[in-house]
Amino acid sequence: MHTIRLDLQYDGSEYAGWQIQENAVTVQELVERALSMILRERIRVSGASRTDSGVHALGQVAAFTTESEIPMEKLRRSLNGILPPDIRLTDAREVEAGFAPRYAREKTYRYAFALGAYLSPFQRRYAWHIHEPLDLEAMQAAANYLVGEHDFSSFVAAGGGEKGHVRTIHGISFGEGGILNSCVGNEGLFHFDITANGFLYKMARNIIGTLVEAGRGKLPAQSMAAILEARDRGLAGPTAPAQGLCLVSVKY
């Protein structure tokens, strides 16, 4: 048996997330179906991150096992020839047996939001449009309280199924620009990059929603410490919309 690693990019706008679901089209389903057609055997794919409905990926990592000895370049061409154009395989390589994508050293998500009176139609799928000004320095100050190892129960949504809620955030950094480089430019577009050893269900979006509350002046930055300590989802901010979130990279 051969273990194959896939590096994938996708626009998640039209999909119900990565993980296979009943009565909904997902990225994992389409990748497995295409691979099964190419290799003429039943293929099951595991992914590094179960991105939610509407969430994008520039650096999703997946893996599967196969008896086939298909050359990797032929696999890349064949898979991209079958997959819809909003899902692309960027790299395929054989790796050691037992490689499990979800056991990553760190994952980085980027969340983009746009400030101003209007949002370009070319950015509407890739940013959260916020009409009012935000105090970006207050948002960064609030984010700093989250860096390190903590119990992130206050930022996990129901239904994730994780047994433990302790994760380590290595860094949360603010920057200008969004997810895409576009001909419309980056004016009014900003982002936060969050790097951690793992993420709970909707953890990144719940963190961003809370940081935006700090940026609106509704939540003092220093209150983040108390929110963490309380381990109570009801004390944190709302869940940010899915379209602003993108899985940027996974490192092993």
Q: Please state at what angle helix 203-215 crosses helix 223-230, rounded to 10 degrees.
A: 150
Residue-wise pLDDT for 103-127, tens only, equals 999 999 999 999 999 999 999 999 9
The number of helices, as runs of H, and strands, as runs of E, in the chain is 5, 10
- Does the pLDDT value for residue 158 go beyond 90? no
Does the active-site annotation cover 52? yes
Are 151 and 228 contacting, i.e. CB atoms less than 8 angstroms apart?
yes
Measured over the CA atoms of residue 94, residue 95, residue 98 and residue 99, the dihedral's sign is negative
Full set of structural domains in the chain with CATH: 2-102 (3.30.70.580), 105-251 (3.30.70.660)
Calpha distance 168→171 (Å, rounded): 9
pLDDT band for position 223 (cuts 50, 70, 90): very high
Evaluate if residue 135 carries a pLDDT over 90.
yes
* Mean pLDDT value across the chain: 96
List the Cα angle 60/64/66 in 5-degree steps: 150
- pLDDT 10s digits, 65-80: 999 999 999 999 999 9
**pLDDT exceeds cutoff 90 at 131:** yes
pLDDT in tens, 2-14: 999 999 999 999 9
> Which of these is catalytic: 7, 11, 52, 151?
52
Q: Which helix (H) or strand (E) holds 56?
A: strand 56-66
**What confidence score (pLDDT) does residue 10 get?**
98
Enter the pTM of the model: 0.94
The helix (H) or strand (E) run that includes residue 212 is helix 203-215
In sequence order, the 6+-apart residues with CB closer than 8 A to the CB of 229 are none
Mean pLDDT for 131-154 is: 96
User: What's residue 190's pLDDT?
Assistant: 96
10 is in an annotated binding site: no
Give 228-251 pLDDT, tens digit per residue. Answer: 999 999 999 999 999 999 999 999
**Looking at residue 21, what is its pLDDT?**
94
